[in-house]
């Protein structure tokens, strides 16, 4: 079993839709949970950074962490074509043990 | 100003050759990393350096050797290149105490023929 599981998609939605991206994990030592966005032929860029369980909102993006279920989510409201990218979940216990999910490729159609 | 830069951006070479990829960060971070991203986009950590000292060395063939001349630079040297080494290699850096907050370079696309 992989430490971090993420459905690679691809996921295609119409513009304006609410997008839900998810990851599950097995290592209970993970404390920090991140979402990275990667455009084609570019490096990943940090989108959301959360510590422990709870919700964090930033504009159209909301990250949720449920440590009891070992489940994290990223919601994108009012999705735009510019949101089309691969979204990678990532997590760490804070000791350079970063693990990434496989990434979900998202396409938002105008 | 580019925060994390890598050279070259593209590298095409023959099997058996030796090649190097260079990385520099101007963010003042103490920790730098090398990642490999395969054709399925899976991103896997290879090495982590903190202040020029090797912290993580994941299961990577010893043909791969990182070198950190100072804390702003982390280079990757690969000996005897194999077809399976074809991938995109990313350098990243993070500030002290925030291992999850990583800034990535633009990547080096390595193709081994």
Is the predicted pLDDT of residue A70 greater than 90, yes or no?
yes
So what's the pLDDT on residue B1? 65
The Cα–Cα gap between B10 and A108 comes to 29
Q: Which residues of B touch A103 (CB under 8 A)?
A: 41-43
Enumerate residues 6+ apart whose C-beta is below 8 A from A101: A4, A5, A6, A23, A88, A89, A90
- Return the pLDDT at B53: 81
Note the pLDDT of residue B99.
75
Q: Does A18 touch chain B (CB under 8 A)?
A: no
The conformation of residue A44, written as its DSSP 8-state character, comes to -
The residue-averaged pLDDT of A13-37 equals: 95
Q: What is the mean pLDDT of chain A?
A: 93
Positions in chain B short of pLDDT 50: none
What tens digit of pLDDT does each residue of A26-62 get? 999 999 999 999 999 999 999 999 988 889 999 999 9
Q: What is the largest CA-CA distance in chain A?
A: 42
Strand pairing of B103-104 and A54-58? unpaired
The two structure tokens encoding residue A107: 């396409």
* Nearest residue in chain B measured CA to CA from A38: B41
Look at residue B110 in the predicted model and tell me its pLDDT: 97
Q: Where are the alpha helices (DSSP H) in B15-61?
A: none
In DSSP terms, A13 is beta-bridged to: A108
pLDDT at B7: 96
Window from A83-87, A96-100, B68-72, B75-79 with minimum mean pLDDT: A96-100
Q: Searching chain B, which residue's CA lies closest to the CA of residue A100? A: B43
Q: Percentage of chain A surpassing pLDDT 70?
A: 98
Q: What is the pLDDT of residue A2?
A: 77
pLDDT value of position A100: 93
Instruction: For chain B, list residues whose CB is within 8 angstroms of any CB belonging to chain A.
Output: 4, 31, 33, 40-45, 48, 50, 55-56, 90, 92, 97, 99-107
pLDDT at residue B39 in the model: 84
């Amino acid at each position: 079993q992989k430490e971090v599981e993420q459905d690679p998609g691809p996921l295609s939605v119409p513009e304006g839709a609410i997008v839900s991206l998810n990851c599950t994990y097995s290592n209970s030592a993970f404390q920090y949970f991140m979402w990275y966005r990667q455009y084609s032929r570019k490096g990943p860029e940090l989108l959301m950074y959360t510590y422990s369980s709870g919700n964090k909102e930033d504009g159209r993006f909301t990250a949720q962490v449920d440590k009891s279920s070992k489940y994290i989510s990223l919601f994108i409201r009012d999705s735009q074509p510019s949101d089309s990218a691969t979204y990678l979940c990532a997590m760490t216990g804070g000791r350079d043990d970063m693990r990434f999910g496989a990434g979900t490729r998202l396409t938002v159609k105008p | 100003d580019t925060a994390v830069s890598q050279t070259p951006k593209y590298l095409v070479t023959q099997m058996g050759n030796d090649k190097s990829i260079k990385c520099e960060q101007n963010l003042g971070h103490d920790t730098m990393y090398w990642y490999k991203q395969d054709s399925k986009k899976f991103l896997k950590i290879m090495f982590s350096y903190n202040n020029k000292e090797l912290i993580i060395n994941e299961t990577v063939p010893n043909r791969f050797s990182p070198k950190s001349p100072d804390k702003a630079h982390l280079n990757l040297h690969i000996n005897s290149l194999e077809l399976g080494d074809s991938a995109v290699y990313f350098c990243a850096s993070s500030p002290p105490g925030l291992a999850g907050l990583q800034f990535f370079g633009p990547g080096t696309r390595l193709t081994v023929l």
